[in-house]
Structure 1
Amino acid sequence: MGRIGRYFLYLLLALFAGIAAGLAYVRFQPGMAFEYMERLARQFGSISENPFRNFVWIFLNNARVALLVVVAGLFFGVGSGFVIFANGFIVGLVVGVLKEEGIPVKTLILGLVPHGIVEIPAILLAGAAGMCWYRRIMESEDKGKGLKEGALQALRLYIVVLLMLLIAAFIEAYITPNVAGL
């Protein structure tokens, strides 16, 4: 397995750890979890009746997160893991709160899986790109050259990530609501 594959697996573990932490937070601090969920809902606003508007918003938000994850990799190679852990925490928190609110587990799964199959690997790939960029800089004797080469590799991977996020946003805006009955 190559470097990108190893980083991808490390980041997948960070995501799962974040999800577990978010679920535990709901279990052990339900009042604070519900308050945090309300703040998130206010921050993100309501879902539009217009699927195209949702598609654009979802894509732009996820592209921003993916770019943050790439750049965070430059922080000693571990910044991507922190951002992905935090996003996993939010997923765990949202799932935990919605489950406590009585949303059936089947609905939660159908609300996450269709687009998550594409979106999660895209975000993890963005993190692996950032970690590879940092590694390229550190391994290069000429740090400027390593910075440029790593940036080009990260940019190529980020373009792939953007294409994956376009697909995921389409699924989330047009297919997930119908499949999950939302």
Structure 2
Amino acid sequence: MLKFSTFLRDLGSIRNALIWSVILFVAGIGAGWVSTGPLQDILLNQIGGLQEVSRQLEQSGNVQLNFFIFIFFNNAIKSVLVIYAGIFFGILPVIFLVINGMVIGFLVNITTDNGASLFDIVVKGLLPHGIIEIPVIIIACAFGLKFGGLASRSLIELGSPKRQGLGKQWETFLKRTLTASCWVIILLFIAAIIESTITFSIVRG
């Protein structure tokens, strides 16, 4: 059940949710890129919080190890949480996708405005770990959206004859979320290693 091939096969069962997750994430990037006013202030606060954490980690004894621990647990906990919090009609996964996309879009935009190379930002700053991390976060959110869709359907079909088959669907889906959670954690573990070593070294020059 926990085989990687099972995880890949399960992705086919949430294909529509994956498509919507990608759309929401890309929309978030676009919104972050053009953000102004109060929205910009919110994003600056988000980035400021991350910068403060980064400063605190840099003052520690083993900087790269502490970065790895923070990155891994922060991403893993949030990603697994967003899968199961999707039961509340998929609201949290939507917010999570849009905000993460907006932060990336805004950060890339202001960095390039300050003279940085877009190629360097993407290839050196995002690609090494992001090639794993970003798809995994999108997948976690897609499972959350699917969870929300199933919860909504169960509520809508309450008392309907169609509801009889939902029990089996819930059982199958919950097994899939278990497999997904395991592989999300494993893949984010790998991404955190890359980000705290390769990306860390590249960005620091």
Fold equivalence (TM over 0.5): yes
CA distance in 2, matches of 1:21, 1:51: 32
What CA deviation, in whole Å up to 9, does each residue of 1:12-40 have, x standing for no partner? Answer: 11111101111111xx4497378434344
5+ residue gaps, structure 2 = 1-10, 155-162
Give the equivalent residue in structure 1 for 2:126: 112
Q: Say whether the 8 Å CA contact 1:22–1:91 is kept in structure 2.
A: yes
Matched, 1:128 2:142: yes
- Tell me the equivalent position of 1:165: 188
| Deviation at residue 150 of structure 1 after TM alignment | 3.2
8 Å contact from structure 1 (residues 73, 130) kept in 2: yes
Q: Which residue of 1 aligns with 2:29?
A: 19
* 1:135/1:123 CA distance change after superposition, 3 Å: same
Distance 1:23 1:163, change over 3 A: same
How do residues 137-148 of structure 1 correspond to structure 2 at under 5 angstroms? 137=151, 138=153, 141=164, 147=170
Match in the other structure for 2:4: none
TM-score, normalisation: structure 2: 0.73
Does residue 71 (structure 1) correspond to residue 84 (structure 2)? The answer is yes
Which string of whole-angstrom CA distances, capped at 9 and with x for unpartnered residues, describes residues 22-78 of structure 1? 1111xx449737843434423x34253621111111000101220232133212235
Q: Which has the larger radius of gyration?
A: 2
- The number of equivalent residue pairs is 179
Aligned-pair identity in percent equals: 28
Q: State the alpha-carbon separation in 1 of the partners of residues 164 and 95 from structure 2.
A: 28
**136-145 or 12-21, which deviates more:** 136-145
Higher RCO, 1 vs 2 (CA within 8 Å, ≥6 residues apart): 2
Partner of residue 101, structure 2: 88
- Contact 1:4–1:129 at 8 Å: present in 2 too? yes
Question: Could you state the TM-score of these two structures normalised by the residue count of structure 1?
Answer: 0.81
Higher mean Cα deviation, 128-137 or 61-70?
Answer: 128-137
Deviation at 1:181, TM superposition (A): 4.5
Matched, 1:38 2:52: no
User: Residue type matched to 2:12 in 1?
Assistant: G
Shift of 1:99: 2.3
